Structure 1
Amino acid sequence: MAFTRPTGKHRRPSRAVRSGANVAGIATLTMGGVVAGFAAPAIAAADEAHRTEDTGLTQAIVMSDAISGNVDAQAQTQRSAADEASVRQQAEKDAKQRASEAKKRADEAQRKADAERAEKERAAREEERKRLNLFVIPIDGSYVSTPYKASSGLWSSGSHTGVDFHAESGTSVHAVGAGTIVEAGWGGAYGNNIVIKMNDGTYTQYGHLSSIGVSVGDTVTAGQQIGLSGATGNVTGPHLHFEARTAPTYGSDIDPVAYLRSHGVSL
């Protein structure tokens, strides 16, 4: 006698139950001897169907695992790429920062170098200005032995047009300041004389020299030796006759002591 599972509101029998029922029915028929030759193929078919169903489930699980693995691999690749991009961006940022700091240091060094160069140039200009504007006494350690405008019949004008500095023959005579030689040679009553056009536009004269060491057109600086003192021309003894003038010619004289003092020379 065959048994069947009640139906109705109950849930539908599962595939395994249905298969079992079919097998049971086939077994009953076999026991009755009617379809004994048919039972074996039917059972084999049922088993094959069951195995096929199980194989499909297994394939689905394997495919799901493979997809999950691919997703994980892609995620890992993306994370690695993101990490590499982050490292690269940080490296670029650090490189830019270092470059910026290096540029700042270079700019600061250049600024300091420019400032130092400008200061050196300024100092050089100042030194040159001082050198060009520097005035000295024409004979070191000497003094005025005959003052300006002293009266005497020794001079054709009746008075001294310059000052005399005490000096033995052969004493070094210096240019009192920077200028250009406009006369160098015999000057009549002045003997051997030199006239310099000073850089400020005035003129200075050096008379009664025993020798002359410059030529017309030469430029000289303050303190430069231009000749040696002597007793040439209209003199009573060796000394240096010194004049300050507003022009290169005789008669344009000004007070030599006041002139030197106005240029910082102490007498």
Structure 2
Amino acid sequence: MAFTRATGQFTDRLTERITTLTGRLAGGSPLSTRAVRTGAGLAGAAALATTGVVGTLATPAAAASDGTPRTYALGFVQAVAVGDTIADDVRAQAEAQRRAADASRERAGTAENTGAARTAAAEERAAEKAAKERAAKERAAHSRADRTVQRRVASGYTAPYEGARTTTPYKASGSAWSSGSHSGIDFPVPTGTPIRSVGPGTVVTAGWGGAYGNQVVVRHKDGRYTQYAHLSSLGVAPGQSVGAGDRIGLSGSTGNSTGPHLHFEARTGADYGSDIDPIAYLRSKGIGV
């Protein structure tokens, strides 16, 4: 009798365990194949212990990929194969996560590229604005210089550019000059500085002058000539009449030059070799340099 009670108690506990496993399968709990195999083994053992007959664990069959329930013989009974379904779910979840990560990286890259493009565009706009402001300041400075020059030409003559000062003096000696000495005076001005006729007259030369680079020669009403050399550009043509302070070109460093400057000469004739002291000539017209 004691054996019967013990067997009954064992069967009750085993039946409870099987019922729990069956409920988890029916509820879709992700039981492992090992859990199924364990439950099946217990069911078979219970059946064999109580009746001597191998039983079968009745559980809902998991659908295979073709829709057909798939089962496998495990020990004494058949068990539902849920491993494929779980693996498919895991693979699908992993693929979804991978796609989400790729999309996130793509959005980040697009945002980065957009930000870089916006920064480059902003820098370009800032550079354009700065260039326009510099050009406006230069125009304003030239305009002020023009007005100043016009006020100073009441005597009929003016300096070749506003704020004139000299560096290399007249008749400075050295091997840089073919004659052995400097035939004029140099004004240290940056490229693009407006150069003006010192007095009224007529343009006799405007073009390339060999070692002088781009040059302009003006014959004045007093019979003297002035030369303006190493210009970056010309603003007059031969035969053109000019007044004191009229712009005849822009300074530069063309010809035999070591840097931007204006080479200025005063002459008794239009050609090289007829030079006179340019400082003395300008001072005779009331221009101090």
TM-score normalized with structure 2 length = 0.47
Say which SS state the counterpart of residue 261 (structure 1) adopts: helix
Instruction: Provide the rounded CA distance (Å) in 2 between the counterparts of 1:235 and 1:264.
Output: 29
Q: Percent identity between the aligned chains?
A: 59
Q: Indicate yes or no: 2:278 matched with 1:256.
A: yes
Q: Does 1:193 align with 2:192?
A: no
Match of 2:158 among 136, 141, 163: 136
* Alpha-carbon offset, residue 132 of structure 1: 8.6
Give per-residue Cα distances to partners, 1:161-213, cap 9 Å, x unaligned.
00001100000000000000000000000000000000111000000000000
What is the CA-CA distance between 1:139 and the residue it aligns to? 1.2
Structure 1: gaps of 5 or more residues = 1-129
Give the unaligned 5+ runs of structure 2. 1-151
Query: Does 1:231 pair with 2:217?
Result: no
- Give deviations 1:85-131, integer Å, cap 9, x for gaps: xxxxxxxxxxxxxxxxxxxxxxxxxxxxxxxxxxxxxxxxxxxxx96
Map 1:139-154 onto structure 2 (within 5 A).
Answer: 139-154=161-176
Contact residue 132 and residue 177 of structure 1 kept, 8 A: no
Separation (CA, whole Å) in 2 of partners of 1:132 and 1:162: 26
Bigger RCO of structures 1 and 2 (CA < 8 A, at least 6 apart): 1
Distance in 2 separating the partners of 1:211 and 1:194: 10
SS in 2 for 1:236: coil
Give the CA deviation at 1:133.
5.7
Is 1:206 the equivalent of 2:232? no
Correspondent of 1:173 among 183, 195, 199: 195
Write the distance in 2 (CA, Å) between the matches of 1:206 and 1:165. Answer: 10
Corresponding residue number in structure 2 for 1:69: none
Q: CA deviation at 1:134?
A: 1.2
Residue 142 (structure 1) shift:
2.4
Counterpart-to-counterpart distance in 2, 1:247 and 1:233? 21
* Structure 1 residues 40-189: aligned runs within 5 Å: 134-189=156-211
Query: Which secondary structure state, in structure 2, belongs to the residue aligned with residue 144 of structure 1?
Result: coil
Verify the 8 A CA contact 1:132 1:199 in the aligned structure 2.
Answer: no
Query: What residue is the counterpart of 1:216 in the other structure?
Result: 238
Structure 2 match to 1:240: 262
| Structure of higher CA gyration radius | 1
Q: Could you tell me how far 1:266 is from its partner in structure 2?
A: 1.4
Moved segments of 4+, more than 4 Å: 130-133
Q: Aligned partners of 1:264 and 1:254: how far apart in 2?
A: 17
| CA deviations over 1:9-67 (Å, ceiling 9, x no partner) | xxxxxxxxxxxxxxxxxxxxxxxxxxxxxxxxxxxxxxxxxxxxxxxxxxxxxxxxxxx
Number of aligned residue pairs = 138
Q: For residue 135 of structure 1, what is the amino acid of its counterpart?
A: Y
Q: What is the alpha-carbon distance in structure 1 between the residues aligned to residue 278 and residue 266 of structure 2? A: 5
d(CA) in 1 for partners of 2:211 and 2:154?
31
